[in-house]
Amino acid sequence: MIPATGARKFGLICSESEKGMSRTYQYDSALRVTQTTTTLDGANFISENQFDDNFGRPIGLVYPNGLTLAYEYNAQGYLVSEKNAASSYIYRTIEDMDAFGNISSATMSDGLLTGHYLYSQKSAQMLSSTITGSQRLHELYYTNYDEFGNIIEQSNLVTGTSERFTYDNLQRLTNNVAEHAGSVVQAVSYGYDAIGNFKYKSDYSTTVENAYQYIQGEAGPNAVTSVIKPNGLVSFKYDAKGNMISGDGLTATYTAYGKPEIIAKNGKTSNFAYGSDRLRYKQESDNDSIYYIDKLSELEGKDWRIYISDVAVIKYKAGDPMQNTSQSSEIRFLHRDRLGSATTLTDHNGQVTERRRFDPFGKPRGISSESLLSARISSFGSDSEVSKRGFTDHEHLDEHELIHMNGRVYDYNLGRFLSVDPLVQAPTNSQSLNPYSYIMNNPLSGTDPTGYCSTTDTMKDCAGGLEEGKTQAITNSDGKTVGYVGKDSKGNVHITNNGASKGQTAVSNSIASVGKPNDINSQNQVARSDPQANRKQDVELNGSETACAPMCVMPSVGTSALGVGGALGSPEEGEADSGHIHPGFEDSKKSTLSFSKRSDDVNAEADNTGALSANNRAGQYSIRLQIQTGDENLDSIAIIRGASVTKSEAWTGLEHLYHGTKNSNKEWNRSLRSAIINMSKKIKSLKTGVAGTGNVMRSEFIFRRRLYRVDLENLSGVNLIQ
């Protein structure tokens, strides 16, 4: 119930209202919100929060349309699943998390889809994201960051596209080269003046010097007044507060508090209404209304749009009594890139329904990197009706080619906001003083959740001596903001990086050496390594990483997860490392194997092993397991059998390979162990064995910026069918 007068001393909000909307709250004895009633244009919408009795954790969320989401936790108190309370359909099961609190392994759609996500152990920046179902559906790699934490290269192995980026000394993006199938499809260049104004943006303006013009006026020196486009000059006008009111086909009016009230562009007009919290509660356009009940619930006409945290969206379509049809629903699972943009959408059957792509400044671009005739998410397909959220998970005003970030509206063609930022988040950084620029013209460094303040990668240990209830921007020695860190009233540290808030995360030893800032101009950097040491080798990552790219990334798992007897799983400190993969493999059975093991050139092995020579392969079945880096072979084992090599024999070979390559370096052993386990799971999953010759399986990891490969090579016969 609503707190009595005596409880109101805690400062709890009982109700709030604005023209056309009101909201009331009910609390439990622990002062937690249990029910919220939102009234919009006379219609009531009720949502409920449910908590457990012992720990006070959320265990249920009842949406305004009646859907109930249930949460389950493990013995340590971490969230492990989100499911439909009525049907028990599991939207997501979290299998593993890293020290930063990032999900590193999860299953979705009732276990139909599997996701693996790898983050830097030093900076928490994303390194890879893969989703598999019946086939590989989503596969993104971010394998090259510079010493300032800027992404240099990224690739999508499913679509065959890749991108390269360059920056100036102020960490502003200057070039974006997009390729498909090895050929350059689009190259965009960006130029700036000293105070962060665009001089040109080649996908919107010409590349002549000062294609963007700024004439001192009421809106100040940062308000663009004209742009020379390939098809002619366009002009822009502003009101006295610096809000853009016209330009390039757009007209707009604003509320007294600076929010857009009416936007007209491309022959469409949208009207917006805001609540007492200054967030949108209604959008009207072309006789269609969208009500925003809260962050997770929207009502468009008679159709509901429900978001299941960050993993899925469900659209409930109202039935039509005249057509004798009942309510129907469709779900889309949202598979995201490093900035939180959903770039692959799949249905409940695990089938891809739509792919999306955005350029660095948020402009929709073709799946093969080409420019779109109409830069709208509706150009990708019909799923824009299911979810209108695109770049960095913000809602696109698609007909206007704009993004509404709730705080401000952003024009991705122009590359700037339509209105002035009321906040200066990094006063010591000259680029932060520009009130129209998007993330200080370094759009790939993070996200802007509200249009007011960007979030970028940082590390939890940077909290230092912050006071409780305070938040601070963190900049590096060049003035570049690398993150934001704060403490709540309970002293818990919260950081925001890469677009996602990370609260109460554990601090791993790998970041314990990072210094604590004394002021806003701290000298901490995302990457503290020597810039020369960051030069790309086989695959270059930001620090010492463990990766399995481009094969499927797998976490270290225990015995039961492997399902193959004993495991190579990561032992606790001081625990004996048996390394057994298959302890039931008897010595008498092992004696039937012929092992050929050596540590130099792999190719010479076949020549030196009589059973594998070209003249002696008839009737023999054989595989080879090997560990390589570059052209160097660290270790290899050949298994020769008179009959097919079995899975158990291959597991034993992996055990020999592991013990022959492990050393006193614990970090190396953990990385190696994870790759070996990954390979053992691949072998276990085989249904029809392997035939043909050559490398048929690979598990990879990265140690000290160098790529290592665990390969299974089929030398002769059909193997691993048992």
Q: Global pTM?
A: 0.66
Instruction: Please report how many Cα atoms fall inside a 13 Å half-sphere around the Cα of residue 511, on the Cβ side.
Output: 24
Contacts by residues 451-454 (CB-CB < 8 Å, ≥ 24 positions apart) = 451/405, 451/406, 451/407, 451/408, 451/409, 451/410, 451/417, 451/421, 452/407, 452/408, 452/421, 452/422, 452/423, 453/423, 453/425, 453/484, 454/425, 454/481
By the 8 A CB rule, do 93 and 71 touch? no
Strand 43-51 with 33-40, pairing: antiparallel
* pLDDT given at position 396: 97
**428-451 mean pLDDT:** 95
Residue 364 scores a pLDDT above 70: yes
By the 8 A CB rule, do 176 and 188 touch? yes
Alpha-carbon gap, residue 299 to 68, rounded angstroms: 17
Alpha-carbon gap, residue 375 to 402, rounded angstroms: 10
- 114 burial type by CB count under 10 A (0-12 exposed, 13-18 middle, 19+ buried): buried
* pLDDT given at position 236: 97
Alpha-carbon gap, residue 202 to 190, rounded angstroms: 7
Work out the end-to-end distance of the chain between its first and last CA atoms, rounded to an integer number of angstroms.
Answer: 63
Residue 155 scores a pLDDT above 70: yes
Q: Looking at 46-50, 328-332, 517-521, 531-535, which range is the least confident one? A: 517-521
* pLDDT given at position 128: 97
Neighbours of 120 (CB within 10 A): 25
Residue 585 scores a pLDDT above 70: no
Structure-model confidence comparison of residues 32 and 648, the more confident one: 32
| Span 291-326, pLDDT tens digits | 999 999 999 999 999 999 999 999 999 866 555 556
Amino acid making up residue 564: V
Alpha-carbon gap, residue 296 to 526, rounded angstroms: 32
Query: Of 17-21, 186-190, 381-385, 703-707, which one has max mean pLDDT?
Result: 186-190
| Span 202-243, pLDDT tens digits | 999 999 999 999 987 778 899 999 999 999 999 999 999 999
* pLDDT given at position 659: 85
Q: What percent of the chain has pLDDT over 70?
A: 75
Token pair recorded at residue 157: 């192995």
Amino acid making up residue 38: T
Residue 503 scores a pLDDT above 80: no
**346-355 mean pLDDT:** 97
| Residue 173: φ, ψ to 5° | -65, 125
Kindly state the DSSP code that residue 642 receives in the 8-state scheme.
S
* pLDDT given at position 425: 87
Kindly state the DSSP code that residue 592 receives in the 8-state scheme.
T
DSSP 27-78: E-TT--EEEEEEEETTEEEEEEEEE-TTT--EEEEE-TTS-EEEEEE-TTS-
- Sign of the CA dihedral with 626 first, then 631, 633, and 637 last: positive
Token pair recorded at residue 700: 């990879």
Tell me how far the alpha carbon of residue 113 is from its chain's centroid.
Answer: 16
* pLDDT given at position 154: 97
Sheet containing strand 395-397, edge to edge, reads 395-397, 402-404, 409-411, 416-417
Q: Dihedral of the CA atoms 277, 281, 284, 288 (nearest 10)? A: 170
**113-128 mean pLDDT:** 95
Residue 78 scores a pLDDT above 80: yes
DSSP 266-318: TTEEEEEEE-TTS-EEEEEETTEEEEEEETTEEEETTEEEEEETTTEEEEEEP
- Nearest CA-CA partner of 620 in 606, 634, 633, 630: 606
**146-155 mean pLDDT:** 96
The owner of tokens 């409930």 is 316
Quick check: helix, strand or coil at residue 257?
Answer: coil
Residue 457 scores a pLDDT above 60: no
Alpha-carbon gap, residue 611 to 621, rounded angstroms: 10
Instruction: Please report how many Cα atoms fall inside a 13 Å half-sphere around the Cα of residue 49, on the Cβ side.
Output: 16
Q: List Cα–Cα distances, 201 to 69, 173, 191, 448, 649, in angstroms.
A: 45, 11, 7, 20, 59
- 330 burial type by CB count under 10 A (0-12 exposed, 13-18 middle, 19+ buried): middle
**542-558 mean pLDDT:** 28
Query: Of 7-16, 131-140, 471-480, which one has max mean pLDDT?
Result: 131-140
Alpha-carbon gap, residue 556 to 674, rounded angstroms: 5
**521-532 mean pLDDT:** 27
Residue 542 scores a pLDDT above 90: no
| Span 640-693, pLDDT tens digits | 877 888 888 888 889 888 888 888 888 888 889 989 998 998 898 888 888 888
Residue 597 scores a pLDDT above 80: no
- Sign of the CA dihedral with 628 first, then 560, 558, and 73 last: positive
Helix (H) or strand (E) holding 666: helix 666-684
Structure-model confidence comparison of residues 143 and 329, the more confident one: 329
- 216 burial type by CB count under 10 A (0-12 exposed, 13-18 middle, 19+ buried): exposed
Mean pLDDT, rounded, of the chain:
79
Assign 559 a pLDDT band (cuts: 50, 70, 90).
very low
| Span 484-499, pLDDT tens digits | 455 444 444 444 433 3
Helix (H) or strand (E) holding 636: strand 632-641
Assign 472 a pLDDT band (cuts: 50, 70, 90).
low
**Bridge partners of 48?**
35, 62
Residue 565 scores a pLDDT above 50: no
Alpha-carbon gap, residue 330 to 663, rounded angstroms: 52
Q: Dihedral of the CA atoms 342, 345, 346, 347 (nearest 10)? A: 110
- Nearest CA-CA partner of 627 in 664, 557, 679: 679
Alpha-carbon gap, residue 43 to 27, rounded angstroms: 22
* pLDDT given at position 318: 82
Residue 465 scores a pLDDT above 50: no
